[in-house]
Amino acid sequence: MRHGICGMVRSRPHNCPPTFSGGGGFTFVELLVVCLILGIISLAIYSTFASGIRIWRQVSISSRDEDVDIFLDRFGNDIRNMFAFEGLDFVGARDRVVFPTLIKSARFGTTVGQVIYKYDVSNDSFIRTQRDFTDVYRDDVGSRTHSLENVESLLFRYYFYDAQVKKYIWLGEWKDEGSLPLAVGVEIVLDDGEHTETYTKTASVYSFGKTKR
């Protein structure tokens, strides 16, 4: 009989669907289970990766904050140790401040010198430079000791008492040559491409008044 049950007729095998034996194929339920397991594994990998990214960002932000704190502490110490000194005038602009204070020089140890804090726009950095008397006499640039990177903007301000109006005022520039302000403030905006933060620091000048000449 030629037209019997499919699989038993040997004359037309091409009309019969393939059969599997010995458990060589997958059922629909088995495929669903495999997809579910792969989904769980993928979710676990993604969660671990996302957690690692968050930790890395937190560590980066914490490290940046520590760098800023250290730099601004150095700035505050220099401002507090500022004093009027003949030949080393105080210069206060919006993007830089220059003043006499105590420094540690490679040539003379702890001595009177000049410290310069300025905003380097070309490199987006906040720089501290110091000069001893030899550097000042030779008009050398001095030595760069500290810096902050990724600075988007920077602004200095100067606090003083205006006797004419009898008020304490913040100025954007210091124009009273031969004298010192009561305090110096700085505002820094840092942008590393992912986060933008604003930092401020105000330091009082313990020794103020006119320079004796």
pLDDT > 90: what percent of the chain? 39
* Distance in angstroms (rounded) separating the CA atoms of residues 53 and 47: 10
Q: In this structure, is residue 142 part of a structural domain?
A: yes
Average per-residue pLDDT for the chain: 82
For residues 210 and 178, what is the distance between their CA atoms, to the nearest angstrom?
Answer: 6
The range of the structural domain enclosing residue 84 comes to: 63-204
Please state whether 22 falls in left (phi above 0), alpha (psi between -120 and 50) or beta: left
Asked if residue 186 belongs to a domain, the reply is yes
Q: Is residue 106 part of a domain?
A: yes
Count each helix (H run) and each strand (E run) in the chain, helices first: 2, 9
**In the structure, what pLDDT confidence band is assigned to residue 40 with cuts at 50, 70 and 90?**
confident
| Sequence-ordered list of residues with C-beta below 8 angstroms from that of 86, at least 6 positions apart, any chain | 211, 212, 213
Mean pLDDT of 54-77: 78
User: pLDDT band at 199, cuts 50/70/90?
Assistant: very high
Do 82 and 99 touch, CB atoms closer than 8 A? Answer: yes
Q: For residue 198, what pLDDT band results from cuts at 50, 70 and 90?
A: very high
What pLDDT was estimated at residue 59? 55
Beta strands in the chain (DSSP E): 91-92, 96-105, 109-120, 125-131, 143-148, 151-162, 167-171, 183-191, 196-204
- Whether residue 126 is contained in a domain is answered as yes
Query: DSSP 3-state assignment of 201?
Result: strand
Say if residue 75's pLDDT is above 60: yes
d(CA 103, CA 115): 8
What is the C-alpha separation between 203 and 198, in angstroms, rounded?
17
Assigned domain for 24 exists: no
Residue 183 lies in a domain: yes
pLDDT in tens, 126-181: 999 999 888 888 888 888 888 999 999 999 999 999 988 999 999 999 988 788 99
Q: How many structural domains does the chain have? A: 1
- The answer to whether the pTM exceeds 0.75 is no
- Confirm whether 144 is domain-assigned: yes
Residue 124 inside a domain? The answer is yes
